[in-house]
Amino acid sequence: MPETVKFQNRVKTYRVDRGLSRRELADRVEVHPQTIGAIERGQFNPTIEVALRLSDVFGVGLDALFSRSSFGALETPQEKAGGA
C-alpha cells in the first residue's frame, strides 16, 4: 500500500496575515470551518479543488501554500521578506 504523503502548509500563516477567521476563510473556500482547522494542523490534505480555492483567496501559488514535509521546513512570508 502506498505511503500517504504529508504536506506542510502555510494556510494558517496566510489566514492570520490577512485577518481572516477560520469561518470567514471556510465561507470563501466553501468548506466547513473544522476542515480549515484540520488543514492548518496537518491532519487533512485538501483536495486539489480546495487547495486551488485557498490559493485563489490568498493570491499565491500552490507552491507558496504547500510543500512535502520531506523537503524540510517552510519559510514563512515574514522570513522570506527578511523579517524572521
Confidence (pLDDT) at 66:
87
CA dist., res. 25 & res. 21, Å (int): 6
Residue 59 lies in a domain: yes
Residue 38 lies in a domain: yes
Residue 79 lies in a domain: no
Q: Give, in order, the Cα–Cα distances in Å from 84 to each of 12, 15, 31, 73, 78.
A: 17, 18, 32, 14, 6
* Residue among 18, 5, 13 at smallest CA distance from 64: 13
Domain assignment of residue 53, given as a range: 7-65
Q: Give, in order, the Cα–Cα distances in Å from 37 to each of 1, 7, 71.
A: 28, 15, 23
Confidence (pLDDT) at 77:
56
Residue-wise pLDDT tens for the chain (84 aa)? 556 666 689 999 999 999 999 999 999 999 999 999 999 998 999 999 999 999 999 999 998 898 765 444 445 555 556 655
